[in-house]
Amino acid sequence: MSLDPRERLAVQQAELVRALTGQVGPPEAFIPGQVRTAALALARKRARSVARAWPSLVETLGPGFEPCFASYATEAPLPRRGGPLADGRNFVRSLDRQGKLSDLARLEALSVDLHYASRSVGLVARRGPSLAIALLRHPRRLILAARWPGLRARRIAVPLGRRMAHK
């Protein structure tokens, strides 16, 4: 059974979107070089937006930010809500799983988590009080943070001492 013109257009648009986000190659009806050029431009725009929202990531990763983000972006779709802040929060999780997250970025994530809740659609503003924690590595300390609407967020650092070597 053949698709009607609207359904066929929807399928073609979905293929083009996947190609522009680097998930698949260019659709047959398009010039591959032009699709790759457009995909690269969109990826750089996405990376710049996240870099503006998460300056600690650029500071920490330096010249490695763009390739690291490009690798993440090919696997992770844009969040539906929260824009670059939500995209960056997901990138932070990815870096943390890889062991590449700096303490500075952990503190920035802590601040975001105090103000926004992560959901499957992206970030949603918190309306009530919130608590968040972060484990920093150099020096080892636990950061406890609390925010009450209308008041400043407060943080307490709890030193954890040295990690014991296992024998």
**Any idea which residue has 């970030």 for tokens?**
123
How sure is the predictor about 164, in pLDDT bands with cuts at 50, 70 and 90? low
**Any idea which residue has 């609407």 for tokens?**
149
d(CA 158, CA 91): 27
pLDDT at 52 over 90: yes
d(CA 46, CA 56): 16
More confident call, 60 vs 2: 60
pLDDT of residue 28: 86
- Residue 123 forms beta bridges with which residues? 118
How big, in percent rounded to 5, are the helix, strand and coil portions of the chain? 50, 20, 30
Q: How many CA atoms lie within 13 A of 58 on its CB side?
A: 9
pLDDT digits (tens, 9 = 90+) for 129-142: 999 999 999 899 99
pLDDT at 155 over 70: yes
pLDDT of residue 148: 94
How sure is the predictor about 1, in pLDDT bands with cuts at 50, 70 and 90? low
pLDDT digits (tens, 9 = 90+) for 65-115: 999 999 999 888 889 999 999 999 999 999 999 999 999 999 999 999 999
Contacts of residue 144, Cβ cutoff 8 Å, sequence gap at least 6 = 131, 133, 155, 156, 158
pTM of this prediction exceeds 0.85: no
d(CA 96, CA 42): 25
More confident call, 128 vs 75: 128
% of residues, the chain, pLDDT over 90? 66
% of residues, the chain, pLDDT over 70? 96
Q: Where are the domains of the chain?
A: 31-159
